[in-house]
Amino acid sequence: MVQPPWILKSNLLRVVIDTMDTRNLDLGLLVTLETLLSERNVTRAARRLNLSQPALSARLARLREALGDPLLIPGQRGMILTQRALELMQPLHEALEGVRRVVEQGAPFNPETLRATVVIAASDYVQYALLARYSVVLRAEAPMIRIAWRALDVMALTTQLERGEVDLALARPETAPAGMRQCRLYEEEYVVVARQGHPAVRGVLDLDLFCALDHVVVSTRGSGFAGPTDAALEAIGRRRTVALSTSGFLIVPEIVSRSDMIAVIPRRIADGWSDRVQVLEPPLHIPCFAIASIWHDRTTNHPAQSWLRDRLAALA
């Protein structure tokens, strides 16, 4: 017979506890252990748990004694997990998530009393276009929430979501790791920006001039010189001149406003600079792109996480 999820989580927790000397352990110590394994850093873990560093060090000593294992040991680039710690990490996290769901299902959800830290991974473009407004809304509706933005790292996203290092990622749907949940938020289109008073650009831009002018292009690697615009140009047998490559969108309007270079950027960024640059329609079709919220399935039914995602979707 297939066991319900809450029984499976309880079994996982029992496996974790049975391997310890449980006489001096409680649920608080298990939460401490989960945070230490996630952060791999005593200072950061203490901050998350609202404990002093000496108090957390004392808890770590108790955990080491109960488990008979050092758990975290010094490495060349900070602390690393022992093999025993690595074995405990996933079942402990899943078990505690099950406990949290059981507790939260019986309590009414109230954003005004929500005490939580939400970590959102996004590019600089999404931080500017959506997260800035979203964070203001969250603080107004849930005044005790803490919000952490971090740079989007698509290659590390699966691990970050699985470990709970990131609660929500905002990215193009096609970059979502396999097996993750997602919700499409909005579609974005590209526009061309040129500085006010540009000697060659006066409110309109034809294809010949577009290709002749020097361009700024955004490459996440900071060294690429091609993007969606170049693919669209190649499809019609044309090329442009790329003079500068940057790793983020937010610096591009500043560069354009101080030079005779032009750039193709998302409209949501360009609109914020409309008093300092010309915002023009591209002289060719450049496919738009979508932004989606991405999360791990373990948080799908979590009341607070569900509310956070719903508020984001409504705002977007």
What string of pLDDT tens digits covers the 316 residues of the chain? 444 443 444 454 454 445 555 555 678 888 899 889 888 888 888 888 888 889 999 999 999 988 889 999 988 777 899 998 888 888 888 888 777 766 666 567 789 988 888 999 999 999 999 999 999 999 999 999 999 999 999 999 999 998 888 999 999 999 999 989 999 999 999 999 999 999 999 999 999 999 999 999 998 766 689 999 999 999 999 999 999 999 999 999 999 999 999 999 999 999 999 999 999 999 999 999 999 999 998 888 888 899 999 999 999 9
Cα separation, 210 vs 262, whole angstroms: 8
Q: What are the phi and psi torsion angles at 170 (to 5°)?
A: -120, 115
Q: What's the pLDDT score for residue 295?
A: 95
Amino acid symbol at 292: A
Length of the chain in terms of residues written: 316
Residue 306 buriedness (CB in 10 A; 0-12 / 13-18 / 19+): middle
Q: Are strands 168-171 and 289-295 parallel, antiparallel or unpaired?
A: antiparallel
What pLDDT digit, counting tens, does each position of 122-141 carry? 999 999 999 999 999 999 99
Measured in Å, how far apart are the chain's first and last C-alpha atoms? 43
Q: Look at strands 168-171 and 190-195 and give their pairing.
A: unpaired
Q: Taking the model in full, what pTM does it have?
A: 0.69
DSSP state of 273: G
Q: Phi first, then psi: give them for residue 300, nearest 5 degrees.
A: -60, -45
Classify strands 262-266 and 117-122 as parallel, antiparallel or unpaired.
Answer: unpaired
* The pLDDT of residue 175: 92
pLDDT of residue 224: 82
According to the model, what pLDDT value does residue 254 have?
A: 97
Residue 6 is predicted with a pLDDT of: 38
User: What per-residue confidence (pLDDT) applies to 105?
Assistant: 62
